[in-house]
Amino acid sequence: MKNLTLVTLLPLFILLLLPAYRASVSATSPFQTPKNIEYIKTSCNTTTYPRLCYRSLSIYASKINSSPRLLADTALNVTHKATASGSRLMKNISRIHGLTRKEAAAVADCMEVIGNSVDELQQSIGELGHINRTNFDITMSDIQTWVSAALTDDDTCIDGFEGRAMDGKVKNMVRRHVVRIAHLTSNALAIINKYASNPSNRP
């Protein structure tokens, strides 16, 4: 699989999205209650992209069960999965035969920064899992820093495709995927910030 074309890449793009779809289906529970759903909706209303937030998190309402900590953890995990999918997509796009020099350079930059974003989100998930009353403030500060850095990485990737010279199918494919990742990351950061700001959330 050294060289790919846009035609052969499309099925790969669909395959990359399947794990997220399957996870969404498996997360749906018949025990979701109006209270849990309303909690997701209310929490998402404080984010920058509330509709995306609700669509991505409402399927986990029974798992979250109106818990601010589980909401933050789920938002991070959903974002991490989408970002990891984006990282794999960048690697596949880099193998497309016939990329222009500028496209190849932009894709290479995206591979690096989206890879960094995956690591930062993974680190955040790990730290949130070890949070306690004594390390709450410093740990939440670290998580806020990492998620913010992940969002900057997403924006850096998108910025690399600015300009009319970059217009084309590759740019559209990258932007469509990475913009969604950036929006998920922005929402996760908003949820993390709200969780960190409430003293009652200390374990």
**How many whole angstroms separate alpha carbon 161 and alpha carbon 197?**
36
Kindly tell me if the per-residue pLDDT of 163 is higher than 60.
yes
Summarised one tens digit per residue, pLDDT across range 90-108 is 999 999 888 999 999 999 9
* Whole-structure pTM value: 0.85
Average pLDDT over residues 54-71: 96
Summarised one tens digit per residue, pLDDT across range 102-143 is 999 999 999 999 999 999 999 999 999 999 999 999 999 999
- Please give the domain boundaries of the chain with CATH numbers for all domains: 66-201 (1.20.140.40)
